[in-house]
Amino acid sequence: MRQSDIIETMSFRDYLHEKAEESRHNETLAYLMFLAGAIFFVGGVLETLSLAENPKWFIFIPYHTSPITGAVLGLALIMSGFTLIVFGIVAGLNYSRDRGWYMRELCKATSLEQQAITRNRAVRSRRKTRRT
């Protein structure tokens, strides 16, 4: 079965449900990225603080400029951790917003189906009363 055949047979409600689940999964991955970034960041800060007696500070990030192998590792962990933290938060908020939109559209689609079912029941009951 081709991808286009699957999409054609899938109802709009099913599509929204799948997209909401996918967005929830991506949101979880984004928050895991944030968590990994926090661990890298803290590890880099601890590495830098353990090497240097008096490290230099850039806002809240310590760094050590002497040619020590651990200083480069600490700075690399700090920068990659900070990057993962920022991108994790941004991606998590983006996927959360997308999931909210999918859920609102899913509620609209469900309410439209409920209205159609109620309308069909009313028509059937009117036809029954006319027959009798």
- The model's pLDDT over 80-125, given as tens digits with 9 standing for 90+, comes to 999 999 999 999 999 888 888 878 887 877 776 677 677 777 667 7
The confidence score (pLDDT) of residue 9 equals: 55
- Split into its structural domains, the chain has a count of 1
- Cα–Cα distance for residue pair 117/66, rounded to 1 Å: 74
- Given pLDDT bands bounded at 50, 70 and 90, which one contains residue 14? confident
Please determine, for residue 7, whether its predicted confidence score (pLDDT) is greater than 60: no
Question: Which of 103, 91, 101, 109 is CA-nearest to residue 12?
Answer: 109
- Per residue in 40-74, pLDDT (tens digit) is 999 988 887 777 777 666 676 666 666 677 677 88
Q: Chain centroid to CA 24: how far?
A: 6
Its domain, for residue 73, covers 3-131
- Cα–Cα distance for residue pair 30/93, rounded to 1 Å: 9
In the predicted model, what is the mean pLDDT of residues 10-38? 86
Neighbours of 15 (CB within 10 A): 15
